[in-house]
Chains A and B, each alone.
Chain A
Amino acid sequence: MSTSDPVLAVSGLWANYGATPILQGVDIEIGKGEIVGLIGRNGVGKTTTMRCLIGLLRATAGSIRVLGQDLTGQPADAFARLGIGYIPQGREVFPRMTVAENLTVGELIGGPKGKKQPDLVYQYFPRLAERRYQLAGTMSGGEQQQLAIGRALIGNPALMLLDEPSEGIQPSIVQMICEALKSIRNELGTTILFVEQNLDTILAISERCYVMEKGRITAEIPPGGVTSEAVRGHLSI
């Protein structure tokens, strides 16, 4: 990868569920170390976009390039091994495995030669260290969200994709997670794309935003422009 390559470059992405087109030409470009928000109302296709970006849903047209490599049409495990950490909406931890075992799976991110960061995960999320041998399914929502993030972070991903990390979680934990994400970016240079509807979270961490409507990016909030008014205007809340 040359230094000028964007970490993520999506162009003209189309995707369907069955015969219904959901994404209709999505363009996104994110440089190294940026923290970018993807916002929009319910059902506009944010989660669908994320599922395409990790390879769980195959695009019908358009291309996805990560770190200069064309991943279009590859299976999800190839996306992960290249260094993408995916934190899905609803967390999806492995319920009948311990915290430590969940993290072990995440070590596959970045491939066998990539650096692994178990200590860093426990340092950012001490709760996970305390609960190391607890079954993930028995943990609270906030703890599961920390585990889902830790599970991606452990593989030292170049790009983290978070789908509504604040959903159903109390404000103090959301704040802690936001601080952790910023510090991860500052220390490791991790690029972060996150979907969010919670105004405080958007204001707390995004440096710029894409606004999605009906399967397309219809507006962008540039760096420095992420204000309460701007975001409210686009989410019409």
Chain B
Amino acid sequence: MRIRRILSIIKKEFIQIKRDKPSLGIAIMMPLMMMFLFGYAVKVEVDHVPTAVWDESQTLQSREFIRSFQNSNYFDVVTYVSNRGEMQALMDTGEVKAALHIPPDFSRNILKGEPAQTEMLVDGSDPTVARTVFSSGVLIAEHFSRNISLKTMLKRGSGTITLPVELKPRVEYNPSFKTEIFTIPGLIGLVMQNITVMLTAFSLVRERERGTIEQLIVTPIKPAELMIGKLIPYIFIALIDFTLSLSIGMFWFHVPVKGSLALLFPLALVFIIVALSIGILISTVARTQLQAMQMTMLFLLPSIILSGFIFPLDAMPEIVRLISYMIPLTYFLRIIRGIVVKGVGFDILYSDTLALAFFGLVLFTLAIVRFRKKLE
């Protein structure tokens, strides 16, 4: 293996990248576009849920109760109705995603110090939204009733304030349940994978399509020299892409990186090398850029579903989960979420990093072995 040959390939690739402005533009713009586009798409809005209210009590207490919903920012009271039929109709058409029903005896029960039943309807079409809406409603109601019991007890003047046993849940890492905290880091991983695989997949196939491969394979260049030389320039581009995607996540979607950036970048580099190797492997099989594109898609699609980007791995059946472990993105999602969301260190992430490094080694070696200095 000769360093000079590798350097000459790197230099040549850089010159070609520099002169191919449209491709360079795409390589830089694509992650930006994907981040903005998907960033909003994956942001599940669970605040300001349009809500209908059926207030049969029409009292000071009921209005206060409604206000506490309104003030929570989770609910937007958009309309008042006067019977169950109207409430149901609004839910059916999707005009409201939640409905709050306060029965006539609401105030009376409160003043008597008896439990006051209220009712909440939630549109369950999207379980994620429904779950959040539901738990927000419960929280608000609990908070409201605690205030009332406090007030009444104070009014009665009894010396001891005894609240029933209370479970106060504390959510770690993402206490406000902001979905973007979870989805944006995943998106960065996904976007990186998509761009990076394509970068190298095209680079070698282009040589085949243009016929320049013929002159190259008639020289004494070794497959490893060619592959390494082709990989390195794209590492730089991929690192730029990663920096851009991460910046959009941090500054546009306001997802702070809790852990160390100095750890995130080297681990991202490992993932980039894995993804570039996948691209190179594809290009040793594909004959045309179209084929390379199709193979890339064939590889990317399952990784979106199975990597844990959308559905948690824990919820998958055993066999499917085994496939997930074959997808490099799975490990990088754990790494980037670990660092961004939880702020964990290498002591936690080393096994995922090792898995990635292993993938990189195997895939890159496979590409070198597969690459034949032959025509057909």
A and B bound? no
